[in-house]
């Protein structure tokens, strides 16, 4: 078993270092693909340029907004981008990761345990934090593609607004506890909605997602150890 992380980045300087540090201890390799960014994301990723686990890809173009579907061989195609990252992985299993997603300390070992037990797919989810890192929004449950076994039919295909994983099946298990924290709505709004269509306010779907940024309840779960100093600093600033 060889577990490959698939990490796609664009303007993720705020969280990507925390994210990568939470992935590397339990992955066998991490493929990091960076779209053109303006916030120093590529310079942060360069810290891992000499790590034997890490492959860094510089993607030539910013992918088109959600809903647009250039041909897959167009570098603006999000589907082509995802499949190019998939093609660089050399493992038996892959896991889709994001630059604003930080894994819980226990989650990597649990993912590996389940793959080693013979599962082809490991489904997992996380918790969306909003605002000041201490609150959740109205829809805190954050799903992801999770872990899947590579095969000749596994690839990303166009969907209505983006792309989706196809061809991944087999024995499936689900991790019941939140395996990561997701920080989309702790970032500046313009960063969080960077791939949204220009007319997103005219679509009920996007308006509903936008409302998830509003805090509705305190977060009472755990934090990864890598974030505790940051969270303590937030608390201290309120004192």
- Average pLDDT on 72-98 reads 97
- Average pLDDT for the chain: 94
| SS3 assignment for the chain | CCEEEEEEECCCCCCHHHHHHHHCCCCCEEEEEECCCCCCHHHHHHHHCCCCCEEEEECCCCCCCCCCCCCCCCCCCHHHHHHHHHHHCCCCEEEEEECCEEECCCHHHHHHHHHHCCCCEEECEEEEEECCCCEEEEEEEEECCCEEECCCCCEEEECCCCEEEECCCCCEEECCCCCEEEEEECCCHHHHCCCCCCCHHHCHHHHHHHHHHCCCEECCCCCCHHHHHHHHHHHHHHC
User: Does the pLDDT at position 239 exceed 80?
Assistant: no
pLDDT of 212 > 70? The answer is: yes
pLDDT given at position 191: 86
pLDDT, residue 129, reads 95
CATH number of the domain to which 83 belongs: 3.90.550
Predicted confidence (pLDDT) per residue in 136-174, tens digit: 999 899 989 999 999 999 999 999 999 999 999 999 999
d(CA 110, CA 103): 11
Total residues belonging to the chain: 239
pLDDT at position 68, please?
Answer: 94
Number of domains present in the structure of the chain? 1
Q: Mean per-residue pLDDT for 200-225?
A: 93
């Amino acid at each position: 078993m060889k577990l490959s992380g698939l990490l796609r980045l664009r303007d993720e300087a705020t969280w990507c270092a925390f994210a990568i540090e939470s992935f590397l201890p339990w992955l066998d390799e991490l493929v990091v693909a960076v779209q053109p960014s303006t916030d120093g994301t590529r310079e942060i990723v360069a810290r891992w340029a000499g790590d034997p686990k890490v492959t860094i890809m510089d993607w030539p173009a910013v992918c088109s907004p959600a809903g647009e579907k250039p041909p897959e061989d167009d570098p603006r195609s999000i589907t082509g981008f995802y499949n190019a990252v998939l093609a660089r992985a050399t493992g038996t299993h892959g896991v889709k990761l994001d630059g604003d997603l930080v894994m819980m300390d226990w989650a990597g070992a649990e993912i590996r345990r389940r793959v080693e037990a013979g599962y082809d797919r490991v489904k997992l989810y996380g918790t969306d934090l909003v605002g000041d890192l201490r609150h959740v929004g109205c829809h805190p449950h954050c799903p992801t593609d999770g872990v899947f076994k590579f095969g000749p039919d596994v690839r990303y295909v166009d969907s209505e607004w983006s792309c989706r994983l196809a061809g991944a099946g087999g024995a499936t298990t689900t991790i019941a506890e939140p395996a990561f924290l997701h920080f989309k709505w702790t970032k500046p709004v313009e960063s969080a909605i960077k791939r949204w269509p220009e007319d997103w306010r005219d679509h009920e779907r996007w308006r509903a997602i936008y409302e998830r940024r509003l805090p509705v309840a305190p977060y009472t779960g755990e934090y990864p150890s890598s974030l505790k100093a940051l969270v303590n600093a937030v608390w201290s600033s309120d004192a």
